[in-house]
Structure 1
Amino acid sequence: MIEVILDTETTGLSADKDRIVEIACIELSNHIPTKNIFHTFINPETKVSADAFSVHGYSDEFLLNKPKFKEIVKNFLDFIKDKKLVIHNADFDLGFLNNELRRLNVKPILKSDVVDTLQIARSKFPGVGNSLDALCKRYKINVEAREKHSALVDCHLLSKVYIELIDKKELTLDLELSNKGDNHQMRLNNENRQGIIVPISPEKFEEYKKFLKKNVPNAFALD
């Protein structure tokens, strides 16, 4: 199963008036990050608000020579094509992304193609804070790299939170497949390893999906 963790940073909080300044995507294969990453800063063609600057630290000067959304949209859409998106507070990011796509007369991203980890967290921990920071603290995930908000850093953190939210123990594995004819060698980094993923049949995987649907509401956000 291929999924994509996605996050954005913006010039402000209004999807109608503000624009995207950063997009990051990390591909997951069976819940483990692959080496496929999409990341870009974007010239928003508008000013960054003071509040947004205090959050991510991207100045107008820094963004001035970055590509515009229309210049990166094809590569972005190619990267996420036919993959389930995993987003924390999906309404926010989708609002910005779909407004950008609308400006270019491009079809929007459907909410049915998205897993919202905020909704999963709220179903598991009702009545308490479920921000990304709060979830990292709850699951004892190191956030030292997060001095400022960064779409790429937040994607890495969310990939760890997501595994915990769907009750699949976090595996800090460094998977490298080297092709030698028909032979595949897999190297596992044992540092902080809590388990090993082994191949399963399509039938067993479908059983696993049914289990998640029954026990973790909105785990796959299927129609």
Structure 2
Amino acid sequence: MREIVFDTETTGLDPSQGHRLVQIGAVELIDFLPTGREYMTLINPMRPMDPGAAAVHGITDAMLEGQPIFDAVIDDFLAFVDGANLVAHNADFDMKFLNFELKKIQRPVLPKTRFVDTLEIARRRFPGQKLSLDALCKRLGVDNSMREHHDALLDCQILAEVYLELRGGRQHGLGFQAGGRTKKNLATNGPAFDKPIRRDPRPHAPSEAELAAHQAFIKRLKSPIWEH
């Protein structure tokens, strides 16, 4: 199953108030595990950055000078996510901005049925608990120590691990990497292998001493059930 974890950064909180996308990040998953394929772009919003937003993600107006506008990057993003469901934390926020930008350039919007919201999954699993991405990392044992600011690609990488844990952990892939990659020898933690290691079967027949000990134990039983 192919899915795309994605995240956005923006100039503010509401596209209806003129705020725009400034960054899109995405990570490809196969059967809940990252394949190594990633996407990231900065976007020139053609407007000033809100100071509150800049404090959250650290992206400044100077960093966005000379970056492509949304119209110039959307085809690459849509090609990257083609056919896959889109996984996001608080997906309504990212969907709202992405579809606003698509409408603005008269492109078809992405239907809500394509979005998987990890916030909704977390609410069902941990009702009444703090469910920010940082809070879920702490609860699920996911390392987010490198997350000083919000960053679309870094947040996707972290969310991919959180999503895997929310879906039940690595038993989905038996600890193997996705995408048909070489499996690792889990028994020895050794180098990768393409074919299973064959070992001679171990003997399981009891020894003479074990048989004698078993018979002695049987004789000590009082009125065993098989004699009735």
Q: Is the 8 A contact 1:6 1:23 kept in 2?
A: yes
Letter in 2 for 1:40: T
The answer on 1:153 being equivalent to 2:154 is: yes
Give the distance between the partners of 2:130 and 2:13, measured in 1 at CA: 20
Q: Is the 8 A contact 2:9 2:24 kept in 1?
A: yes
The answer on 1:137 being equivalent to 2:138 is: yes
Give the distance between the partners of 1:42 and 1:130, measured in 2 at CA: 28
Give the distance between the partners of 1:169 and 1:175, measured in 2 at CA: 10
Q: Is the 8 A contact 1:176 1:186 kept in 2?
A: no
Aligned pairs for 1:1-223 (under 5 A) are 1-16=1-16, 17-169=18-170, 175=177, 186-188=182-184
Secondary structure (helix, strand or coil) at the match of 2:38 reads strand
Give the distance between the partners of 1:174 and 1:143, measured in 2 at CA: 22
Give the distance between the partners of 2:71 and 2:177, measured in 1 at CA: 34
Higher RCO, 1 vs 2 (CA within 8 Å, ≥6 residues apart): 2
Q: How many residue pairs get matched? A: 185
Structure 1 residues 112 and 188: CA distance shift in structure 2, 3 A: same
Give the distance between the partners of 1:188 and 1:42, measured in 2 at CA: 39
The runs of 5 or more residues in structure 1 that have no matched partner are: 178-183, 194-223
Letter in 1 for 2:38: I
Give the distance between the partners of 1:101 and 1:174, measured in 2 at CA: 37
TM-score of the superposition, structure 2-length normalised? 0.76
Instruction: Summarize deviations over 1:23-62 as a string: whole Å, max 9, x none.
Output: 0010001111012111101101111101001011111011
Q: Is the 8 A contact 1:8 1:23 kept in 2?
A: yes
Look at both structures and tell me which one has the larger radius of gyration over its CA atoms.
2
Q: Is the 8 A contact 1:172 1:189 kept in 2?
A: no
User: Cα offset for 1:122?
Assistant: 0.5
Give the distance between the partners of 1:136 and 1:85, measured in 2 at CA: 20
Q: Tell me the percent identity.
A: 41
Q: Is the 8 A contact 2:99 2:110 kept in 1?
A: yes
TM-score of the superposition, structure 1-length normalised? 0.78
RMSD: 2.1
The runs of 5 or more residues in structure 2 that have no matched partner are: 190-228
